[in-house]
Structure 1
Amino acid sequence: MRLSRRMNQKSTTVTISTAHPLPGFLGDEGLRLLLFGGKGGVGKTTCAAAAALHLAAKHPAASYLLVSTDPAHSLLDSLSGGALSQNLALREINPQDSLARFRARHQQHLHTIALRGTFLDEADITQLLDLSMPGLDELMALLEIVAWVKEARYACILVDTAPAGHTLRLLGLPELMSKWLVVLDTMLAKHRFMVNLFSKRYTKDSVDIYLEERTADLRYLWTLLQSPAQCRFVPVLLAERLSVHVTRRMLVELSSLQIPVRELVVNRLLASNPECPLCTVRVATQTTLIAAIQRTFPDNEPWGLPLCLEETLGMQRLSALWARLRPLDTWQHLSSAPASKLLAAVENPAYLPASSMRLLLFAGKGGVGKTTLACASALRLAEEWQGKEILLVSIDPAHSLSACMNRQIGPNEVRLCCGLSAIEFDPESDYTQLKQLYAEEVASVFDRLSGQTHVHIEFDQEVIERLMDTAPPGLDEMLAITRIVELLDLERYDLIILDTAPTGHLLRFLEMPELIEAWLKTFFGIFLKYREMFRLPKITQAMVELSKKVKQFRRVLTDPERAALMAVTIPTQMAYEETSDLVAACERLQVAVPVLFVNMVTPAASCPTCSALRRGELLVLQRYQKAFQTQSLSIVYRQESVEPERLGSLGRSLYKGMNSNQPVQHLVEHD
């Protein structure tokens, strides 16, 4: 895990000055776990870091831990080189390091359980345990956090989580862990039975105690996560339509998991300025959505944070954050006067993709506008490519296509307009079908074996049947790849546009072909080794097809004539750092990145607010221009609340060609 690199040796003294009331998550005694979550780009990292600094300064005698579970870590970037106080530690979880520690701590017991309870030998088990499976990052993060809570070294652990979809998967992991423990216990059942059969007495050994301890850990975790006195999940959102939509869905899931949520933090609220058209549009939109937030979340306590004119980086700015927090109802004085519509403006529009292109991925940090630009691009290409068919696909666990297009889009393809359809993948449905196929084949195998002479084969059958329950939480990425290749094979669509998950999880998706090939190689070897005893022809065939599709996906993805990643970012320092990581990873994976859209850039204006924002953005834009010289750099000016009916206009502005609005401003060169 990353520790406090780039930090000074001397700690920074933090002074708290908040005379006004603060929300409970900053004042309630007894909270041991505080999680900040929400849609990407809403300010989770900022709020988590600011809360940690606040609590550590308020209680200097207590120790605190600030943790990041987002694969694309940004806590250190947020702190911007400042040194933490002695009572505050920071850890950015590295799943590979966590997995290595987990194996070192648990591998011997897992080996023993598997050898006692399956037909696999030690070599098979070693191969399986050595696999790097998708989804292990969420599991390792959760196990690390549970261990730290149990140590009771920290008064409270504050967690900067991954964007909404993957955070919900993280919080759903206790259920998966429970299934794993059942499988392990089932493996031991046969061993216990045989010992009782021959010795008439079974005595618990270290392996039984190990399972009992893990089961107790799971009960402890559930008790902690569901305890309002000890745990709090704090959703962070913006007064923007997509952000409210994702938060609503997230709160439904949190409620079903019985994870306590009391407060909401609505970030980046703007003060009224009738002299500025851009500010007027933003304020009007925010005013409408503030009322919607209060109606939509009546059981939660909403708080508002104003827009900071300079990026909230560094110890001093983070420490001052909560002094600006106010109850959300104090923001209702904002003007709700009708606002003039702003024209979409883009400097240096990108070239339209070549007609040979089969796959476009819109990718970037959470909250940079990937979904909006993917939808706008799909509409533009459908308009431009008459007679061709385009499919817009969401592979983000927190789907936003429906909200962006204002159409109900689900697991079945929906026609949006001439030449354009859309779909939001449902990996749960695909996984259910895969499990059903597996269960049917296992049942047929043991029906055949039951007539032969085998001792207590029902134990082996239960173990094998339950093995599918141990599939990791990242299986959806694997299934998404197969669905994409199937769609490409059907040749019903000339182009597939992917609205992807935020950077950290997208990179795992791009690396998935290599992981799947290693996984398939291991399982093929085991099936081949035991083919005389344990034949699963349908599952084997499904795995052969999966292997073919993965290789096909890899070939398309790395062919610049057929696939490209359209990077989307915003003019902030944290987004710049994450975009640099994304582009470097794509170079390593041989994925073409021809275009970089710098979105949400503030246009030149006499308004003091816009001018202050613009000054900071210009410095970051110059860094983009210097660092990304091999990409076409398109600057997309801020348009508040791009409504569905205006996506077409935005799409025409994004690309050069017929009907394209040519830019009228030159942000960097002539400002």
Structure 2
Amino acid sequence: MELFDNLNLAMFSGKGGVGKTTTSCAFACQWAKKFPDEKILLISTDPAHSLGDVLQIQVTDTPTPLQSLPNLSVRALDANLLLEDFKQRYGDVLELLVERGSFVEGEDLTPVWDLDWPGLDELMGLLEIQRLCNEKVVNRVVVDMAPSGHTLNLFRLMDFLDTLLNSLELFQQKYRYIKESFAGKYTPDEADETLKNLKDELAAGRHLLQESPKTACLVMALPEPMSFQETRRFLDSLENLKIPYGAIFVNQIVIDKDSSGDRCLEQGKLVSQFMELAGEKSVYLIPQQKSEPLGITALENLINQISPAESLPLSTSGEVNIKWPEKIPPGFTDFIEEGRRLLIIGGKGGVGKTTIAAAIGWEMAQRHPESQIRTVSIDPAHSLGDAFGLNLSHEPSIINTNLKGQEVEANRVLDKFREDYLWELAEIMSGEKPDNSASFEMAFAPQGWRQIVEQALPGIDEILSLLTVIELLEENQEDLIILDTAPTGHLLRFLEMPSAMQDWLSWIFKLWIKYQDIIGRTEFMGRLRTLRKRVVNAQKILKDSQKTEFIGVIRPQTGVIAEAERLYQSLVEKEIAQNYVVLNCFTSNSIVPSNKFPEAKVVCMPMLPRSIEPMEQIKGAANYLF
């Protein structure tokens, strides 16, 4: 582990549920002990973080030193507080720049700060990581990242911010041109200075993440096929984004010889595949713990057990007797008979949401051959195809006669959203006329707004996923849709999108009412009204307990159950029905936490055999669930 002592920024990411939080906490504690004269900061960018659950302390946006390790502080980033701070520092100037690039007065832009932004957690997380490192607030930073799909969204924000600043520069160029035309000269103002500072900060941040030998993304994984496939895709994406990764950590390695033979055989083969995937990089193995490593002492014990893959030989061959465990009542009732149209499967990363979603889809299709069923993944890091053992894409694929699978591609939906709304909205904001009759004073503005639309904000997945679901329900082509969602924090963002989108549309309508003589475009506003009706309808469907039901998935782990309990309360507040919680990986030693979910039945699903084909696993899971 001395290999990482030269780092100033260590970012832990990977598929949900692979142990990012636990390992990042252990890593930070080790650094704090090893470098007692340095200030270490452990932060989380995950909106549903569990740092407090692992460290057994209260964690907020204010850095909190650990009593036993006072040089280590812990902080969970609060995107809304960071946005408020960002607004205080740059808000007035940014509003001024947008005003200079559009027909809108500054006072009409102020409400935008109070709207829900897609990708806000990622945006504020990126800016704060860059600030902490650039300003050398601490000596070393350990980041517990959100699961891989949203981590990639965070890294992609560098390109978005580049484009945004270039567009703001075009708005400022237009302003300079007008000033020089009428006054004969131009004197740089606060906007010029702010743009320069922001560009310098972004360039330093990009260098920090892409080129600094002091930075690395440490990739967590499990010795499971779906985790391997997602890790492979994640590493490809990191390479495309020019983000260096330092090593792969494979967690929950079974070293007990009396453990399940098929699991030991599978993990041996997968560790070999991870080593091949890593190439010249190192692979480290983390043994499965007998109990959850909670608190400083347990974390210190965990870090001492991490070893290079080469030093721990694992079996890769042998005969395996596959044993299916006994079925445990109660199970699900028949969702189609009960009139459900939409099932939302959610929970903490890595608890088995995708397998549960696939199994429900399979069983409903078998029971109701006359009904059309579709299982849809809206997680930016899809694994639904891996669960079925198939290559799925944005276009629905036939899995069985009446069962389809789909992995929503945000770029495909975004392209359609651009064509339907965003290109014309960019023209409106710039003051460009439909007949290209805009005066020369506006020459720079249309290009700037088109650039912003072209490079859409990463994290817009939640809005686009909502539109996809609306369309599927409106078309009435499916009798039941099962959504495989992103982990908890981003699932909540998705469920908040109907209200957020209505707020954005209301702001646009207010602008139009004030400036309709300038804007015109009555037909376009009519289309936006239709969109608002669709969004309102989506919100009604989400709250209709006869049509929609949320199914939570948990594992018998303290941190997972604590997060699920918080999610359960959030759903109660949002008036979304939850009648079931699936306790995945149930064993005879597991305690069923029925008291945590008073209005929901707990359905127990035991550990499934490992050395079987993906589709057989799905069929087996379906048998246990119903």
Residues 652, 538 of structure 1: CA spacing in aligned structure 2 closer, same or farther, 3 A cutoff? farther
Which residue of structure 2 lines up, in the alignment, with residue 646 of structure 1? 617
**C-alpha distance in 1 between matches for 2:35 and 2:106:** 51
Matched, 1:360 2:343: yes
Of 508, 518, 533, the match for 1:523 = 508
Deviation, structure 1 residue 581: 0.9
Which residue of structure 2 lines up, in the alignment, with residue 350 of structure 1? 332
Residues 539, 39 of structure 1: CA spacing in aligned structure 2 closer, same or farther, 3 A cutoff? farther
- Residue by residue over 1:4-40, the C-alpha shift from the partner in whole angstroms, topping out at 9 and shown as x without a partner, is xxxxxxxxxxxxxxxxxx2522x2x2x2211000001
Of 433, 436, 441, the match for 2:416 = 433
- Residue by residue over 1:68-95, the C-alpha shift from the partner in whole angstroms, topping out at 9 and shown as x without a partner, is 0001010111101363522111110111
Matched, 1:493 2:462: no
Deviation, structure 1 residue 138: 1.0
Residues 320, 335 of structure 1: CA spacing in aligned structure 2 closer, same or farther, 3 A cutoff? same
Which of 489-498 and 640-649 deviates more? Answer: 640-649
Which residue of structure 1 lines up, in the alignment, with residue 278 of structure 2? 297
Amino acid of the structure 2 residue aligned with 1:599: N
Residues 285, 488 of structure 1: CA spacing in aligned structure 2 closer, same or farther, 3 A cutoff? same
Which residue of structure 2 lines up, in the alignment, with residue 637 of structure 1? 606
**C-alpha distance in 2 between matches for 1:250 and 1:323:** 27
Counterparts of 1:59-458 in structure 2 under 5 Å? 59-81=35-57, 83-273=67-257, 275-276=258-259, 279-334=260-315, 336-348=317-329, 349-355=331-337, 356-437=339-420, 438-439=422-423, 446=432, 448=434, 450-451=436-437, 454-458=439-443
**C-alpha distance in 1 between matches for 2:313 and 2:107:** 66
Which of 527-536 and 473-482 deviates more? Answer: 527-536
Could you tell me which runs of 5 or more consecutive residues in structure 2 were left unpaired when the two chains were aligned: 58-65
Which residue of structure 1 lines up, in the alignment, with residue 61 of structure 2? none
Contact 1:134 1:474 in 2 (8 A): yes
Which residue of structure 2 lines up, in the alignment, with residue 669 of structure 1? none
Residues 311, 538 of structure 1: CA spacing in aligned structure 2 closer, same or farther, 3 A cutoff? farther
Contact 2:178 2:441 in 1 (8 A): no
Which of 116-125 and 250-259 deviates more? Answer: 116-125
Deviation, structure 1 residue 112: 2.0
Matched, 1:548 2:533: yes
Deviation, structure 1 residue 560: 1.0
**C-alpha distance in 2 between matches for 1:464 and 1:176:** 13
Which of 380-389 and 625-634 deviates more? Answer: 625-634
- Residue by residue over 1:36-86, the C-alpha shift from the partner in whole angstroms, topping out at 9 and shown as x without a partner, is 000010000011111110001101001010000001010111101363522
Deviation, structure 1 residue 530: 2.1
Which residue of structure 2 lines up, in the alignment, with residue 663 of structure 1? none
Contact 2:40 2:72 in 1 (8 A): yes
**C-alpha distance in 1 between matches for 2:426 and 2:563:** 45
**C-alpha distance in 1 between matches for 2:424 and 2:545:** 42
Of 454, 462, 468, the match for 1:477 = 462
The alignment partner of 2:553 has SS state of strand
**C-alpha distance in 2 between matches for 1:77 and 1:625:** 20
Contact 2:8 2:214 in 1 (8 A): yes
Contact 1:345 1:636 in 2 (8 A): no
TM-score, normalised by the number of residues in structure 1 = 0.88
Deviation, structure 1 residue 351: 2.0
Contact 2:150 2:459 in 1 (8 A): no
- Residue by residue over 1:251-287, the C-alpha shift from the partner in whole angstroms, topping out at 9 and shown as x without a partner, is 00100111111311111100152x55xx212101101
Of 617, 628, 650, the match for 2:597 = 628
Amino acid of the structure 1 residue aligned with 2:501: I
Which of 321-330 and 365-374 deviates more? Answer: 321-330
TM-score, normalised by the number of residues in structure 2 = 0.94
Deviation, structure 1 residue 304: 0.6
Amino acid of the structure 1 residue aligned with 2:594: Q
Percent identical residues: 30
Which of 237-246 and 107-116 deviates more? Answer: 107-116
The alignment partner of 1:514 has SS state of helix
Which residue of structure 2 lines up, in the alignment, with residue 461 of structure 1? 446
**C-alpha distance in 2 between matches for 1:646 and 1:396:** 21
Residues 446, 110 of structure 1: CA spacing in aligned structure 2 closer, same or farther, 3 A cutoff? closer
Deviation, structure 1 residue 141: 1.3
Deviation, structure 1 residue 145: 1.5
Which residue of structure 1 lines up, in the alignment, with residue 63 of structure 2? none
Deviation, structure 1 residue 328: 0.9
Contact 2:163 2:452 in 1 (8 A): no
Contact 1:136 1:472 in 2 (8 A): no
**C-alpha distance in 2 between matches for 1:378 and 1:451:** 54
Contact 1:375 1:392 in 2 (8 A): yes
Could you tell me which runs of 5 or more consecutive residues in structure 1 were left unpaired when the two chains were aligned: 1-21, 604-613, 656-671
Amino acid of the structure 1 residue aligned with 2:389: N
Contact 2:427 2:449 in 1 (8 A): no
Contact 2:608 2:621 in 1 (8 A): no
The alignment partner of 1:351 has SS state of coil
- Residue by residue over 1:375-429, the C-alpha shift from the partner in whole angstroms, topping out at 9 and shown as x without a partner, is 1111111111121110000000000011110111100010000210111111111
Q: Alignment length, in residue pairs?
A: 611
**C-alpha distance in 2 between matches for 1:23 and 1:272:** 27
Residues 176, 384 of structure 1: CA spacing in aligned structure 2 closer, same or farther, 3 A cutoff? same
**C-alpha distance in 2 between matches for 1:129 and 1:532:** 26
Deviation, structure 1 residue 198: 2.4
Supply the RMSD in Å over aligned alpha carbons: 2.0
Contact 2:153 2:459 in 1 (8 A): no
The alignment partner of 2:16 has SS state of coil
Contact 2:174 2:442 in 1 (8 A): no
Amino acid of the structure 2 residue aligned with 1:512: M
Amino acid of the structure 1 residue aligned with 2:624: S
Residues 379, 183 of structure 1: CA spacing in aligned structure 2 closer, same or farther, 3 A cutoff? same
Deviation, structure 1 residue 538: 6.0
Deviation, structure 1 residue 290: 1.2
Contact 2:413 2:468 in 1 (8 A): no
**C-alpha distance in 2 between matches for 1:441 and 1:551:** 21
Deviation, structure 1 residue 333: 3.5
The alignment partner of 2:481 has SS state of strand
Which residue of structure 2 lines up, in the alignment, with residue 46 of structure 1? 22
Contact 2:97 2:172 in 1 (8 A): yes
Amino acid of the structure 1 residue aligned with 2:247: E
Residues 61, 259 of structure 1: CA spacing in aligned structure 2 closer, same or farther, 3 A cutoff? same
**C-alpha distance in 1 between matches for 2:625 and 2:161:** 46
Which of 465-474 and 371-380 deviates more? Answer: 465-474
Deviation, structure 1 residue 137: 1.4
